[in-house]
């Protein structure tokens, strides 16, 4: 190859320096930002175009000039693609497809054209009748264009004008926070597109060589204005300082088109995705595994939301807060999402609510006990005293005809008063409320033995997790057992009682059986509403239903009774 110095190359060299500098800056300082990859590639191919064009000018023979003319086709073919992708990103069109795949599809035809360019000496489909024209200040290539050139031109101008149309639409017909950035791109693209159209169509005959690369420098500077002044790669003016990178809260930054600009490591762990995988993608795709979070990110009216993340063996609860990011003049340019792990906080709140509920239950029991003691208890005591007084006066008067009835009235009154006092004592027993199920059952059984003298056996089997049973479930089980034992003491005439408690992961099984006289369940059912025992059984069934359980009662006259309670765990 032979070269000779041509002064006209300096505008091209300067243009190449500018574009190469901008591409290098973007690579080292902004390569993870939105649009950075397509911008870097654009600056690279434009630099190749400028340098190859300068070396073509300096070529002293036809083979040298043809070689560098072919090298320029690398830029001819791929610069429309990179510019189109760059303009598409900042015009706000849908960006959910993978950028690399999009470029590969667009690059298929230009790659085929490049093969034709480098094999043109075999077929002449790109250019033919190639020779040097010495009529100017320096020799240039004179040629005629073949059909492949026109295919290349149509495809390239289709991409260029499509990009131009996208930018026009974004500037004048679509409200976008990137309007100033898009204007920078529009002016820069115009400086490249207009001279190239003038050269290819020979609108100005005096242009004997392609002067398009001369304008790459000014176009790059205008684009640089978008970078440094309008922050082309920074939709939100956030400095990712070390404190943000290392903070415990997850931080996600979105633009107004719901695209992910960046996330910190804490948010990467929450969504189990790396920043490189989701940058510039739609948030709906980035957070597809957490639909509640994705929907909240898209809905601009939501300021706070709770969501769940399931891992291998745990479920974590997070609270996400949303904030708008504004320019100095009040224009919204994006949103931040800050996510905090509130699993432990939520559990503490649940524990506090349960403690408050237990306290409220205790206070209600105390109040009920006082009311019963002050009202019904005193009335029962008064009736008992009056009945005994009447009986004594009748005896003093020698009237024995009604003494037997009075005796029964006194006995019934004393028994009712004793039951009422026992009920008051039991509802004021805070220990049974706060204790675990087995401990509370043992307390009830011990008291029952003292009162009745009956033999009671307790069998417990299954998971050792009695303390984790919800308080409401535990209280209802205990009340059902108390009612069953009360019925046994009053009606069964039993000698032995057996209580079985089985705990499993799916249900709580309780059995209360006795060896008493039993009863006819069918006859008892027909007498519903008249039998006081049946009223107690109905209360037991209602208690079981309150906690989602089922109570069944089987009895065989002369054999005994079985009360079976099953509650989902």
How does residue 431 score in pLDDT terms, banded at 50, 70 and 90? Answer: very low
**pLDDT of 498:** 95
The number of CA neighbours under 13 Å toward the Cβ of 174 is: 20
Which of the two residues, 537 and 96, has the higher pLDDT score?
Answer: 537
Mean pLDDT of 485-496: 88
Mean pLDDT lowest among 87-101, 115-129, 240-254, 439-453 = 87-101
Q: Whole-angstrom Cα distance, residue 483 to residue 544?
A: 12
Where a domain ends, among 398, 428, 458?
Answer: 428
**pLDDT of 6:** 84
Which CATH number do you get for residue 491?
3.30.565.10
In a domain, 202, yes or no: yes
Of the chain, the percentage scoring pLDDT greater than 90 comes to: 10
Q: How far is CA 310 from CA 292, 305, 315, 433, 446, in A?
A: 13, 17, 5, 34, 45
Are residue 270 and residue 416 in the same domain, yes or no? no
Pairing mode of beta strands 496-503, 507-514: antiparallel
Beta-carbon count within 10 A of 284 CB: 14
Q: Are 471 and 358 in contact (CB under 8 A)?
A: yes
How does residue 335 score in pLDDT terms, banded at 50, 70 and 90? Answer: confident
**pLDDT of 510:** 94
Residue 514 scores a pLDDT above 90: yes
Where a domain ends, among 322, 341, 360?
Answer: 341
How does residue 386 score in pLDDT terms, banded at 50, 70 and 90? Answer: confident
Q: Are 494 and 516 in contact (CB under 8 A)?
A: yes
From 385, 439, 389, select the one nearest 414 (Cα to Cα).
Answer: 385
In a domain, 537, yes or no: yes
Residue 144 phi/psi, 5-degree rounding, is -120, 150
Are residue 287 and residue 397 in the same domain, yes or no? no
Q: Whole-angstrom Cα distance, residue 383 to residue 473?
A: 37
**pLDDT of 499:** 94
Q: Whole-angstrom Cα distance, residue 381 to residue 471?
A: 34
Mean pLDDT of 397-404: 65
- Locate 164 and state its tokens: 């131009």
Which of the two residues, 349 and 38, has the higher pLDDT score?
Answer: 349
Q: Whole-angstrom Cα distance, residue 226 to residue 510?
A: 75
Are residue 40 and residue 185 in the same domain, yes or no? yes
Place of tokens 């175009």: 49
Q: Whole-angstrom Cα distance, residue 279 to residue 32?
A: 8
For residue range 120-178, what is the model confidence (pLDDT) as tens digits? 989 989 988 888 888 777 788 888 889 998 998 899 888 888 877 877 776 665 544 45
Q: Whole-angstrom Cα distance, residue 81 to residue 103?
A: 7
**pLDDT of 504:** 84
Place of tokens 């490049």: 114
Mean pLDDT of 105-115: 89
Are residue 499 and residue 564 in the same domain, yes or no? yes
Mean pLDDT of 57-78: 88
Are residue 34 and residue 167 in the same domain, yes or no? yes
Q: Whole-angstrom Cα distance, residue 170 to residue 164?
A: 10
Q: Give a three-class secondary structure readout of 368-420.
A: HHHHHHHHHHHHHHHHHHHHHHHHHHHHHCCCCCCHHHHHHHHHHHHHHHHHH
How does residue 22 score in pLDDT terms, banded at 50, 70 and 90? Answer: confident
User: What's the alpha-carbon Rg for the chain, to the nearest Å?
Assistant: 45
Of the chain, the percentage scoring pLDDT greater than 70 comes to: 71
Which CATH number do you get for residue 56?
1.20.1070.10
Residue 94 scores a pLDDT above 50: no
**pLDDT of 500:** 94
How does residue 515 score in pLDDT terms, banded at 50, 70 and 90? Answer: very high
Residue 97 scores a pLDDT above 60: no
Mean pLDDT lowest among 111-125, 144-158, 234-248, 384-398 = 234-248
Are residue 408 and residue 440 in the same domain, yes or no? no
* 316, β-bridge pairs: 309
Which of the two residues, 22 and 532, has the higher pLDDT score?
Answer: 22
In a domain, 83, yes or no: yes
How does residue 200 score in pLDDT terms, banded at 50, 70 and 90? Answer: low
- CB burial readout 246-256, b (16+ within 10 A) else e: eeebbbbbbbb
Where a domain ends, among 341, 357, 385?
Answer: 341
In a domain, 237, yes or no: no
Pairing mode of beta strands 250-254, 140-145: unpaired
Residue 178 phi/psi, 5-degree rounding, is -95, 20
Which of the two residues, 227 and 497, has the higher pLDDT score?
Answer: 497
Are residue 188 and residue 260 in the same domain, yes or no? no
Which of the two residues, 412 and 486, has the higher pLDDT score?
Answer: 486
DSSP 233-275: T-SS-----HHHHH-SSEEEEE-TTSBEEEE-HHHHHHHT--H
**pLDDT of 236:** 37
In a domain, 119, yes or no: yes
Mean pLDDT of 279-297: 87
From 486, 473, 498, select the one nearest 537 (Cα to Cα).
Answer: 486
Which CATH number do you get for residue 330?
3.30.450.20
Q: Whole-angstrom Cα distance, residue 452 to residue 490?
A: 10
DSSP state of 461: E
- Locate 129 and state its tokens: 């009748």
**pLDDT of 497:** 94
Mean pLDDT lowest among 215-224, 422-431, 460-469, 559-568 = 422-431
Place of tokens 């993978």: 98
Are residue 18 and residue 109 in the same domain, yes or no? yes
How does residue 394 score in pLDDT terms, banded at 50, 70 and 90? Answer: confident
For residue range 31-49, what is the model confidence (pLDDT) as tens digits? 655 566 777 888 888 888 8
Which of the two residues, 406 and 97, has the higher pLDDT score?
Answer: 406
Are residue 321 and residue 353 in the same domain, yes or no? no
Q: Whole-angstrom Cα distance, residue 553 to residue 517?
A: 14
If you average pLDDT over every residue of the chain, what do you get? Answer: 77
Q: Whole-angstrom Cα distance, residue 184 to residue 203?
A: 26
In a domain, 233, yes or no: no
**pLDDT of 237:** 37
How does residue 23 score in pLDDT terms, banded at 50, 70 and 90? Answer: confident
In a domain, 364, yes or no: yes
Are residue 86 and residue 153 in the same domain, yes or no? yes
Beta-carbon count within 10 A of 103 CB: 17
User: What's the total number of domains in the chain?
Assistant: 4
Q: How far is CA 380 from CA 174, 218, 402, 417, in A?
A: 85, 105, 21, 6
Residue 399 scores a pLDDT above 70: no
In a domain, 539, yes or no: yes
Are residue 196 and residue 327 in the same domain, yes or no? no
Q: Which helix (H) or strand (E) holds 231?
A: none
* 320, β-bridge pairs: 305, 339
Residues 6+ apart with CB under 8 A from 478: 432, 437, 440, 441, 444
Residue 234 phi/psi, 5-degree rounding, is -125, 90
Q: Are 496 and 515 in contact (CB under 8 A)?
A: yes
* 498, β-bridge pairs: 457, 513
From 478, 438, 470, 441, select the one nearest 358 (Cα to Cα).
Answer: 470
Beta-carbon count within 10 A of 199 CB: 16
Domain range for 272 is 242-341
Q: Whole-angstrom Cα distance, residue 192 to residue 215?
A: 6
Residue 370 scores a pLDDT above 90: no
Are residue 185 and residue 278 in the same domain, yes or no? no
Q: Which helix (H) or strand (E) holds 214?
A: none
How does residue 256 score in pLDDT terms, banded at 50, 70 and 90? Answer: confident
């Amino acid at each position: 190859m032979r070269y000779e110095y041509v002064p006209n190359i300096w505008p091209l060299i300067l243009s190449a320096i500018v574009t190469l500098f901008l591409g290098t800056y973007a690579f080292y300082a902004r390569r993870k930002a939105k649009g950075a990859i397509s911008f870097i590639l654009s600056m690279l191919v434009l630099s190749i175009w400028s340098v190859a064009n300068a070396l073509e000018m300096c070529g002293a023979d036809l083979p040298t000039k043809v070689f560098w003319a072919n090298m320029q086709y690398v830029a001819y073919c791929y610069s429309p693609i990179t510019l189109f992708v760059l303009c598409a990103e900042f015009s706000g069109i849908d960006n959910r497809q993978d950028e690399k795949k999009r470029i590969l599809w667009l690059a298929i035809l230009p790659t085929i054209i490049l093969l034709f360019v480098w094999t043109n000496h075999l077929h002449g489909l790109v250019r033919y009748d190639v020779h040097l024209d010495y009529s100017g200040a320096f020799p240039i290539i004179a040629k005629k264009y073949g059909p492949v050139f026109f295919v290349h031109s149509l495809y390239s101008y289709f991409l260029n004008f499509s990009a131009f149309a996208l930018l026009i639409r974004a500037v004048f017909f679509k409200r976008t926070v990137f309007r100033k950035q898009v204007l920078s791109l529009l002016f820069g693209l115009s400086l490249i597109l207009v001279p190239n159209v003038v050269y290819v169509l020979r609108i100005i005959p005096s242009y004997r060589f392609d002067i398009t690369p001369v304008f790459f420098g000014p176009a790059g500077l205008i684009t640089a204005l978008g970078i440094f002044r309008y922050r082309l790669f920074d939709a939100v003016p956030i400095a990712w300082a070390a404190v943000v990178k290392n903070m415990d809260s997850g931080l996600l930054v979105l633009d107004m088109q719901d695209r992910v600009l960046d996330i910190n490591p804490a948010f990467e762990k929450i969504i189990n995705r790396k920043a490189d995988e989701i940058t510039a993608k739609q948030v709906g795709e980035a957070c597809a595994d957490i639909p509640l979070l994705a929907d909240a990110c898209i809905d601009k009216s939501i300021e706070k939301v709770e969501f769940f993340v399931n891992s291998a063996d745990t479920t974590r609860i997070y609270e996400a807060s949303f904030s708008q990011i504004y320019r100095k003049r009040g224009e919204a340019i994006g949103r931040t999402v800050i996510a905090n792990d509130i699993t432990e906080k939520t559990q503490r709140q649940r524990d506090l609510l349960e403690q408050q509920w237990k306290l409220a239950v205790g206070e209600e029991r105390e109040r009920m006990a006082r009311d019963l003691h002050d009202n019904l208890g005193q009335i029962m005591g008064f009736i008992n005293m009056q009945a005994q007084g009447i009986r004594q006066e009748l005896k003093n008067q020698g009237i024995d005809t009604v003494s037997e009835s009075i005796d029964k009235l006194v006995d019934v009154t004393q028994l009712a008063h004793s039951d009422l006092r026992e009920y008051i004592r039991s509802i004021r027993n805070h220990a049974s409320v706060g204790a675990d199920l087995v401990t509370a059952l043992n307390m009830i059984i011990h008291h029952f033995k003292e009162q009745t003298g009956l033999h009671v056996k307790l069998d417990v089997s299954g998971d050792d997790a009695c303390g984790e049973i919800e308080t409401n479930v535990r209280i209802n089980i205990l009340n059902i057992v108390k009612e069953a034992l009360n019925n046994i003491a009053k009606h069964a005439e039993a000698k032995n009682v057996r209580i079985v408690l089985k705990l499993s992961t799916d249900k709580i099984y309780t059995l209360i059986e006795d060896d008493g006289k039993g009863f006819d369940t069918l006859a008892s059912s027909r007498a519903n509403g008249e039998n006081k025992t049946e009223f107690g059984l109905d209360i037991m069934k209602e208690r079981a239903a309150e906690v989602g359980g089922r109570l069944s009662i089987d009895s065989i006259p002369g054999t005994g009774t079985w009360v079976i309670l099953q509650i989902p765990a």
